[in-house]
Each structure stands twice: as C-alpha cells, then as structure tokens.
Structure 1
Amino acid sequence: MMKFVAGVDIGNSTTEVAIADVENKLEFKTSSIVKTTGIKGTLDNVVGIVKALGDACENIHINIQDLNVICINEATPVIGDVAMETITETVITESTMIGHNPDTPGGMGIGVGKTIYLDELEGMSSNEPVICVIPRKVDFETAANRLNQAFDNHIDVTAAIVQGDDGVIINNRLKKHIPIVDEVSYIDKVPMGMLAAVEVASPGKTIKVLSNPYGLATVFKLSPEETKHVIPIARALIGNRSAVVIRTPEGDVKERVIPAGKLILMGEKQKGQLPIESGSEAIMKELEKVWPLKDVTGEAGTNVGGMLERVRQVMGELTSQNIDEVKIQDILAVDTFIPQKVQGGVAGEFSLENAVALAAMVKTSKLPMESIAKKLENETKVRVIIGGVEANVAVRGALTTPGTDKPLVILDIGGGSTDSAYISREGDIRSIHHAGAGQMVTMLINSELGLNDLSLAEDIKRYPLAKVESLFNIRYEGGNVCFYQNQLDSSLFARNVIVKSENEMIPIPTRHSIEKIRMVRRESKEKVFVTNIKRALKDIAPNHDIRAVDFVVLVGGSALDFEIPEMISDELSHYGVICGSGNIRGIMGPRNAVATGLVIAYYESLHPDKSRA
C-alpha cells in the first residue's frame, strides 16, 4: 500500500509540488509547477495550490483525495515598491522646450531666431533671423515652396518646427538646408515671437549645443545665475538627435521640490534615520548598524512615508491584520533612475531623475499560513501541515543535488525574496530571508528604460538580446551571428529584439541601443542579486567567513537565468567556493528544492532512524 505525501512550495511567481511515496522508503513519483495565484502568503494562493496538486496527481493517475498529507511552506509575503529621491521639476513659465527623437528630422546644424508662423513669411521685411512654425494642415510641398520663396526674398529663415512627420521631405526640396524638427504634436503650445534655438545632429550622432548648459548660455546670452537654472533642461536633452529650446520674455524659471523624506529604521537595540536621497549605499550601511531589524517607517507626508504605508496597508488587507501589527523585517535599497515628464514640454519629453528603489519584506504572524492550510484542507479533504521555514527545507532539497555535501549554503533566489540557509557538517541549519529578488530586477529594468510594460521588462530580464541586421540574419548581444533559411518577419528589420526562442522574437519598442538595454539589465541584476548574496553569506556563514563554506547551491526560478549563475560564480570565485545551479534529485535542475525538502523533512519526522533513499 502506497502512502503519498505532497510538498507544496508557494513562491512569489510560481507554486511547485513534489509527490513521494513514504510507506517504506522515500520514493519521489512526480512534480508540477504553476503560476502563483495572488500575492504569496495569502488565501488567494489556494487556487494555484489546488491546480498544481491536480496536475501532479494526474501525472501518476491518482486523485488529490488519495494523498495522505500535504506539507506547505511558511510563505513570507514580500512587496517591492519604488520611492523617489528628491526631484527638481523645472517649469519654464509661458514657454516650452521640445527635446525628442523624431524618426524624420531634416537637415543638420543649429538655427537661432524668433518664432513665426509660415503665413507671416510673405509680409516680412526685417533682416532678423527667424524660425518657421509649420502646422500639420500645411502639406510638405506648400511648406517647401514658401520657404524657398523666403530664401529668394533674402529672409533669414534659420530653422523650422513642423507638426507632421515631413522633416526630411521638406528639407529635400529646399534650396538652402536648415535644421528641421518634426513630429511636434502640440505645436499650438509653441509661443510666437520668442527667441528660440533648433538643433539637429547628423545621423548616428547626438546634439552638442543645446544639451550643454554653456551652449544654452551662449545661444540665449544668459547670466551665470540663469545658467544654473538651465541645467535640468540641458540634462533632459542629452542623447537626443534633435531639440528645440524657446526662451520666455522674462527668462523666468520656477522650481518645485518634492521631498523624498526620511527613512526610519528601528533595530532591536538602536534606531537610525537618514534622508532617502542619501542613496542606497548609505541606507544599507545604516541598516547594517541597527540590524537585526524590528520595523521600518517613513517620514509622514513624503514619498517614502507614503510608499511604506502603502506596503503595510496592502499586507494588512491581504492578511486580515491590523496595519499596526504588520512589521517590515527587511529592506533592500538600490539606486536607480526614473523617467520624469519635463514640465513645459510639448512632445512628451522625459528626463531621467535619480531615484531609490526599495523592496520591503513584511513579517506577518503565522495566522495567514494557518488560514491557507485550513482553506486547503477544506477544499481537498486532505490533512495539511505547515512544514517549516522555507530556507531550512530548501537545504534538504538542495542536498539531493549530485556532488554536494555539508557544510553547504543554499541561495534560493525567488521573485520577491532571497532566502539563504547554511547547514553545518553536523546537520544544524541557520537561515535568513532578505527582501528583493527577481521582481525587483524587473521593476528596475522597467523604470530605467521607461518601458511602462512589466511583462516586456520581465522578458528583457530573462532572455538574450539581438539586432536584426537583415531579413536572414540577426546579431546577438555577444557578437555571434545567426543565419536563417527562411525570411524573418519584415517588421523586425533593423530592430532590437528579445530572442525567446529561434522562432519567437519580440521587438523592443524603445530607441535605446542594444548596448544600453544590456547594460541596464546586467546592472539591475548585480544591484539586487549580488548585493543580497553578499548580505546573505555574511549573515549565515560560520564567523561570517564565507571561506568556511565548501558548497553554494543556487536554487529557485532565478537560478535558471541565462546569466545570473555565472555572475554569482564570478563574485564567489575568489573565496574558493564551489558555486553552481542546483540539480534537485538529479533531474529537476534548480527547481523544486523547497517542495522536495518538505517531503524529505516529513519522511525524516516519520522515520528518524532511516536514512534518505
């Protein structure tokens, strides 16, 4: 007679199941994996658990009711959010700036002059330089003819601002080439009769004058005090192929500062506080000083205060606890950039502002897990037990990786947290949880590249990049070229793509270069994973000395990543540690460590005298 036990690992991203027969010896029969339903550690997880159990039972032709017991992990919910560093918003009164990368700017160089409408060119007699504003209702042929007439009448037209996307075709018809910025959607917001400058760089290059504060000072004859105020404008235009800056009558600039606020860290023995704009390094040093952490709050009425209260509120609602009972047990701070809309822009301009991303791990009582166990028991009619701390059971699962032995450290890199555990030669286990993992990396990629699309950011995190060089070949980010016998989709031509498989490529709808996307992806992973791994090893290795550890095994979804294991191995190589992705039970790869460990722990509690099969 078989006695089936199921181990269930509820993760932030996936729910995994392992089923074994424990009647005589421990014999694993099957496993399954599904997407986690709801936030980890909440009642919404039950739907996903039942689905995963159903899939696994189907594999070995049994019903869920045939299981003897279900062991679930103690799932700590983790939420990550972004808190902004101090932002200076620059508002140019009664005026505007345009700095975007239209696909079709015309001409090149810089033109300075007063803004006038195309219709006003005919009656002009003055010799002062002008910049012509051309609305969409004027077709390219008419626009080119009128500009050519102006040149014949010796009117000094130095540049043009166009609402449509006709920059190149207007320029091709002109007797004298001038810089033309097109695709300016809100052309009606461009103030007339004001001094302006238009710059277009040659193909493959970026503007030099308007992205330089001293260039702006030269063009607009600014005083040193006024030059200080144009720094945010210049910074917003860096890297653009074209730009327009228009000066107001008074050159009036207003600033509005949004306070980022102070972070208050409450340790068991001492308390620390510092402004979030101090940056991630200072925050993490302060955290180390007050460790172990009891709770974290933010200054009321500020960005960080609002963010931490939001985390607490969400967790309180999800776990049916009073907000005061929800404590933050760990945070991870990471420096990043967030695109902020430039006030006064008329083509949707953004500038990158410094920000601090915070992942917060919330400590809740055992109550939510007990509620999950109860609900699961009611739905399956099978006894459910909470099988222990995630990292502790993951160690047992990791030891089924061929070639490993004690003392060993596991790093379980999940979606929301990095769980680590150390098992000594004698079998004593020490574990720790740290906030921040895969979901935080996705969030950083999404914000730094300004994607506004988390699923695209997730794909950028998980798969390599390539440039489609022709309809029959792509060049991977590492330089390797891959040729195809059949023609690729013409919509991919000359695009940067994510290569999910040989036949599935997703175009990346940004103007960032492949080098920039790769750099952001790798830096985001290093900021989160490498930082957390250093923290984990320092906390759990004997005497905080990583050299006392022989084996480090990476488990969890992120260990399947195409570059994370290599990054971590590089970081640990100078300690003489054997580090690599786990291969649970010799067949599962880095997946299923916790689910497998839950079953092993249950088997050992039944047969303390028997060794594992």
Structure 2
Amino acid sequence: MKYVAGVDIGNATTEVALAKIDGTDLTFLASGIGPTTGIKGTLQNISGVFMSLKNALEKVGMDYSDLAEIRINEAAPVIGDVAMETISETVITESTVIGHNPSTPGGTGIGVGTSVLVTELSKIKEAKDVIVIVPDKVGFAQAATLMNQAKENINITGAIVQADDGVLLNNRLDKKIPIIDEVAMIEKVPLGMTCAIEVAQQGSILSTLSNPYGIATVFHLNSEETKRVVPIARSLIGARSGVVIKTPTGDVKERSIKAGTINIIGLKKEVDVDVDEGADKIMEAISVIQDIDDIQGETGTNAGNMLNNVRRVMAGLTNKEPKDIKIQDLLAVDTFNPQKVVGGIADEFALENAVGIAAMVKSDRLQMEMIANVLTEKLKVPVYVGGVEADMAIKGALTTPGTSVPLAIVDMGAGSTDASIINREGKVKLVHLAGAGNMVSLLIQSELGLDTIELAEDVKKYTLAKVESLFHIRHENGTVQFFDKPLDPSIFAKVVLVKENDELVPLDGVESLEKVKQVRMDAKKKVFVRNAIRSLAKVSPTGNPRDIQFVVMVGGSALDFEIPNFVTDALADYDIVAGRGNIRGCEGPRNAVATGLAMACVTEE
C-alpha cells in the first residue's frame, strides 16, 4: 500500500488529487486547490504546489513525508495580450482641438464663444459671446455672482468648470447655460480661443460634437482639418456632454504604429496574415497549418512587439534565449481597446478596433523535469512528470458517472483550452490550444476600459444588477430583490456586481448594465465557443466535429454560470451531446487532470 498525489499546475490554480493505492485498487482520499504562483510551467510554480498539496494533506491528517510518489502535469504556458489595429495617435501641440466628457454636466444645449476667465468678465469692453472658465480657486457661488453681474453686451453661452460643480453653478444662474465640469487640467484650456460646449438632455446623447462634420461646422474646418478631429468626435460618441476648443493656427501631428503581419510557420509550409484583416482571417491562416512549428510577428509592429514580448518573458523565466522560445498556437479575437486622446484635458479615450491575441508557448518537458527535480529535493518525495494534460484529463473525466468510451473532453482552464478523444480501443488523440478564461478577462477589461484585471475577473464571474432604490435592486434577468435594511447610499442608481452573500460591488463609470452584460457574454462566446469547436475538429478522426457524439466539459471555466451553456448550445448545432463533468462523482468539472495523474500511478504499477 502507498499514498500518491496527482498535481495539476494550471494557469490560475494548482489542483491536487490524493489517493491510496493497494495493489491495483485505488481509493481517492482528498482533493486540494490553491492559486498557481508565477507563470505556468516555470520554477515559480513550486510555492503553489506546496500550498495545494498541504491543502489536501491536512484534510486527512497526513504530511508530505507520507507520500510515496507525486505526479505533475506537462504544462504548456499561455500568455495573452492585445495587439492593436493600426491607430493614428493624435499628438496635441500648443494649438489644436481637444475634447472632454464629464459625468455630471449642468444645463442643456450647445454654446459657442471665446474662452474667458470668470474673474476677467468685468474687463471685457466689446460685445461678444463667451465661454466662462471657472478654476477651483473660484467657488461656484462666487462664480455665479460674477456671471449674473456680467454686462449686457456679454453673452455667456457656456462654462467650463474645474470642480464637480456643474449642477450647483447652473442652479444659481439667472440664465441657464450648458456647463462642463470635472476638467481636472483646466490650466490646459487656452484663453481667448473659440470653444464649443454641448450638453444633451438627460437620457440623450451628443449629436453635434460627436460628429466630425458637426465640429467642422462649428469651427469652419476644411476637409483635412475635419479628418484630424475624428478621434475627438469618436471619444464623445455616446456621451451626454462634451467640449471642443480650437486655437487659430492648429498643428496636429499624427504617428501610426502598424498592426503588422503574423507569420505562421509549419513543418511543410508557412502563411502570412495581416492583423488589419481581423481575427477571422488570422484564425483561417492558423487552421491551414496542420503542424505549427512557430509563430512570429513583423518586427517593429504591434503584432511583432506582442509576440516578441511573449518570447522575452518566457526566456527570462526559463533561462533560455528568446530565439529558442517557440509559439505553438494562438487565438485571435476581434475586440475594442480604449486609446487615450493625447492632449485631452481630462483623460479622454476613444475606442479603437483591436485584435486580442493569446499565445501558447511550446511545452518544454525539460523545464517540467527541472520543476520535478526541485520538488523532489525539497519534499524528499519522488516527483515525476506524469503526462500531458489532455491525456490525463480524459482519464479523470471518465470517472464522471454515466460516461464510457468512446468519449471526447474539452478541458477549459484559465490559459488554454485542451481537447482529447478516446476510442473504444483506448487510443487517445489530444490537442492544446491557446485562449481560455484569462483571455475572456482580458477582453472584458479592454472593451469596458476597467482599471484592473481583477475587476474584469469579477465581471466575468458574477451577475449584474441595477440599484433602483435604497431598498431594492433589479437583477440582469429582470427579477427584483428587496432588502430589509437600506443599502449604502453610495451605490444608489449604479450598476453593481452581485457577489456571495448579497455583497454588491459598484462598477464606477459604467452606466449601462446591458452593455456590460453583452460584452461579458460576447467575450465568453468568442473564446470558448470558438476554441471548443476548433479543438474538437482537431481531435476528430475525420477533422469534422460532427463525427463526435459525446463531450464532457471539465476545468475551472466549466464552473462558470454561462460558459457551459454557450458551449452546449453551440455544439448542439453539430449534433453533439455536451455537458459539464462531475469528476469522481463529487468534484464537479474540477480536478480531472490531477485525478488522471493519480490514476496513472496504478496503470504503471
């Protein structure tokens, strides 16, 4: 009799299956899970292995020294990044056009005039239309008094305010005007220049300043100048308010970085594809090459920089030269990426087309042997590289009640989507593909312009609601939930994430629940539905997914409240029966690889 452990080092979590072997009998004792430390497939993973093993051993009162053998998976690292489409970055010099979109404007309508400090209104002699500039040092009450006392020949058509005082100022004015507030860098606003301010009615959006030709009409621009204000107009699309300022001798410079081409190198041929053509063209090119040896990007371009960065990161972690790092697969997805409008007065952004790319580095058994050797030395227990993930996952998946061969599995993790199929004779065919849960989070962060990847992870994992009063919320499915105690006033009227125990986390700066929901769902479909079909096509005996009858979904992402449903629905179009696995009848879709690694200890007895 001996005790063994299977350890699956994933991109996000490290999972353990602890078992007792007595002859050919195997009994599972406990499971463990912990966060993966470092990038999968590197020596940094060792701390995570220790934590996960300890988590499992403590459940049955055992120690590391009680183990006779540990099997770890053959890990293939995956790194995701965003390679942008060709973007013209508008560089603002001392004279040009700038835009802004605050969240709490005052008044409504459009106003055009010359920018003047509020404290200088009394010095104006000639009749003119003016836009008043109100810096922080002038309070809203004082500003309102100065504006109400302005001479009759001065027509105040709007105001630009540094503080968050738009509504307070407008309430104190004799004549209501559009007001743009929250202009943090008000010192950048040039004085004596023509300004245009627009504030739409509540519930409406800009119509003039979000239109390049609207801006051209206001400022009398020629066709070349109109071309250059497109980033400003785009940054204000969908906004309720905005301001655009033009100085007389505008000098706009443009700098473009090419998206570049991706070179897919096979054992027999290679294919080039331009990132500008979009994700579908890239994935078509990937599908043409059966056995990929490496994938490279054009030097000096966004695609080249991204793929070279993957090589540099992995080279640094594995003590290799970048040129020796080979990329075996990538997943490309069309998305959007907020790009800062350089020279803006309050960090304006414009959504630009982008291609999100997840790249998978070829697994290095020697690197995994290094991890195994270090673990053996530290634990004083023999540690072996037990097998590739997709092979081990199918062994574990077959412990799901109601399954038998032939069977295909789709292992949906954080970094990769793996598939394998086993026929009646026990022969296994497998594939590892780039792109999974981490890619979904990256797309969500990119498209919603979220500050952190951790927040994007939460958007991926939890449902949404709108706080409609201090005592009730409306969930994204339309149902209403009431509370006995009043909610925190700071989340009133906000879109929130509904976490465990009814914890409500506000998504600041997000106004549309429907938009967040759509971005979340689209990101999951773009990654997991595409990769499920792609992976099954590669393991199918005929290359056609329709020739597969039964599929079990395993892996951490199979726990998601939407992803399995999306994949099941999509595979139904191919007449495939697909469902979420339940490893060993108790683990749900998790622990398949770790379970398979532990089982391999018996088959090799």
Give secondary structure in 2 for the equivalent of 1:129: strand
2:292 matched residue in structure 1: 293
Q: Does 1:109 align with 2:88?
A: no
Q: Deviations over 1:274-328 (max 9, x none)?
A: 3322211111111222332111112222222222121111111212223222100
Output one character per residue of 1:476-527: Cα deviation in whole Å (capped at 9) or x when no partner.
Answer: 1111111222332332222211111133221112234111111111111111
Residues 332, 435 of structure 1: 8 Å contact kept: yes
Contact 2:420 2:428 in 1 (8 A): yes
State the shift of 1:102 in Å.
2.5
2:349 match: 350
For residue 92 of structure 1, report the CA deviation from its aligned partner.
4.4
Equivalence for 1:416: 415
Question: Identical aligned pairs, as a percentage?
Answer: 55
Q: Partner of 1:280 in structure 2?
A: 279
Q: Please state if 1:430 is matched with 2:421.
A: no
Task: Name the structure 2 match of 1:79.
Answer: 79
After superposition, give the CA deviation of every residue in 1:158-201 in whole Å (9 maximum; x if it has no partner): 11111122211211111211111111111111112211110011
* Matched residue SS, 1:470: coil
Amino acid at match of 2:63: N
- Distance (whole Å) between structure 2 residues aligned to residue 99 and residue 431 of structure 1: 53
Inter-CA distance 96–501: structure 2 relative to 1 (3 Å threshold): farther
C-alpha distance in structure 1 between counterparts of 2:333 and 2:210, whole Å? 28
Q: Does structure 2 conserve the Cα–Cα contact (< 8 Å) formed by 1:98 and 1:243?
A: no
- Is the 2:101–2:348 Cα contact (8 Å) retained in structure 1? no
Q: Report the CA distance shift for 1:166/1:584 in structure 2 as closer, same or farther (over 3 A).
A: same
Deviation at 1:53, TM superposition (A): 1.7
Q: Which AA in structure 2 matches 1:532?
A: N
Counting only pairs closer than 5 Å after superposition, residues 347-496 of structure 1 correspond to structure 2 as 347-496=346-495
Q: Deviations over 1:247-280 (max 9, x none)?
A: 1213433221122222221111111223322211
Deviation at 1:96, TM superposition (A): 5.4
1:326–1:364 CA contact under 8 A, matched in 2: no
| CA–CA distance in structure 1, aligned partners of residues 493 and 172 of structure 2 | 27
Output the CA distance in 1 between the equivalents of 2:90 and 2:56. 58
Map 1:600-611; keep pairs closer than 5 Å. 600-606=599-605
1:179-194 aligned within 5 A = 179-194=178-193
Task: Please state whether the residue corresponding to 2:417 is helix, strand or coil.
Answer: strand
| 1:28 is the counterpart of 2:9 | no
Structure 1 pair 64/222, CA: closer, same or farther in 2 (3 Å)? Answer: same
**Counterparts of 1:484 and 1:351 in 2: how far apart (Å)?**
39
Displacement of 1:597? 0.9
Matched, 1:171 2:170: yes
**How far apart, in 2, do the equivalents of 1:7 and 1:117 lie?**
71
- Farther off after superposition, 168-177 or 222-231: 222-231
Q: Does 1:138 align with 2:138?
A: yes
Cα 1:335–1:32 change in 2 (3 A) is same
| Cα distance in 2, alignment partners of residues 228 and 100 from structure 1 | 19
- Shift >6 Å, 4+ stretches: none
Find the residue that maps to 2:8 and give its secondary structure: strand
**TM-score, scaled relative to structure 2:** 0.97
Gaps of 5+ in 1: 607-613
Go from structure 1 to structure 2 and tell me whether the alpha carbon gap of 1:237 and 1:97 turns closer, same or farther (over 3 Å shift).
Answer: farther
Secondary structure at the aligned position of 2:478 is classed as coil
Number of corresponding residues: 604
How far 1:97 sits from its partner (Å)? 4.8
Match of 1:333 in 2: 332
1:365 is displaced (CA, Å) by 2.7
Provide TM-score, normalisation by structure 1.
Answer: 0.95
Aligned counterparts of 1:402 and 1:546: Cα–Cα separation in 2: 24
2:90 partner amino acid: T
Which amino acid is the alignment partner of residue 119 of structure 1?
T
Distance in 1 between residues matched to 2:306 and 2:224, nearest whole Å: 36
Look up the SS of the partner of 1:447 in the other structure: helix
Letter in 1 for 2:211: N
What code does the residue aligned with 2:226 have? T
Residues 71-99 of structure 1 show CA distances to partners (whole Å, capped at 9, x for unaligned) of 11111111112222211112344245554
Amino acid at match of 2:175: K
Alpha carbons of structure 1 residues 107 and 207: separation in structure 2 relative to 1, 3 Å: same
Look up the match of 2:219: 220
**Counterparts of 2:345 and 2:571, CA distance in 1:** 50
> What SS does the aligned partner of 1:568 have?
helix
